Amino acid sequence: MERREAVLSVRPLDAETWPAFAALVEANNGVWGGCWCMGFHVKLGKGRTAAQNRAEKEQRVRDGSTHAALVFDGDQCVGWCQFGTPEELPEVKSKRLYEKGLTDLPAWRITCFFTGKGHRGRGVADAALTGALAQIAQYGGGTVEGYPEETDDRKVSGSFLHTGPMPAFESHGFTRVRPISPHRWVVARTVTPD
């Protein structure tokens, strides 16, 4: 069977798109075993359940304290890029090294990408990042940071790339600011308001 080329569109995560987002997360085991894209909002670990993460994510969607650019293939959500203010997303990976080199907090953080099974390699992450930057511009723009993984032509598990691969950010005008782990960087760019 020939694989058709997807016509992707991007919509914000909100009460209207929540069911499509939830369907994608549920179809993928809660994303990384039940995270529900909460890992940058709160410290995950002992004592937190997938059900608690789901309920808290839905509440954040309903009260507008979480943001994501959802990628759709028709009516089906196939991936996303999460973004938000440092207050919304305080849990940065490699936090000790991040804070050691910190001079000013950005206006926005891009923290997490996810593409559903069967949709990888079709431009979903690129569409999501493009959509996130467009939404940030609508919210007033400013300095945007990301925390991508540098693959250096090495084979890397998809779970390590949840913060995005370096080439995706560089192709969207981000520049490297400083390393915060052997393979993770702080990258930044300024987004002008719409």
pLDDT along the chain (194 residues), means of 10: 68 98 94 89 87 96 97 96 97 90 95 89 92 98 93 56 83 96 92 96
The span from the CA of 61 to the CA of 52, in Å, is 14
- According to the model, what pLDDT value does residue 70 have? 98
- Assign 160 to helix, strand or coil: helix
Find the DSSP H helices in the chain.
18-27, 50-63, 95-100, 124-138, 166-170
What is the distance between the terminal CA atoms of the chain, rounded to a whole angstrom? 43
- According to the model, what pLDDT value does residue 9 have? 97
β-pairing verdict for 142-146 and 108-115: parallel
- According to the model, what pLDDT value does residue 161 have? 60
- According to the model, what pLDDT value does residue 65 have? 96
The neighbour count for residue 102, using CB atoms within 10 Å, is 14
- Report CA dihedral (43, 58, 119, 10) to the nearest 10 degrees: -110
- According to the model, what pLDDT value does residue 160 have? 47
- According to the model, what pLDDT value does residue 167 have? 87
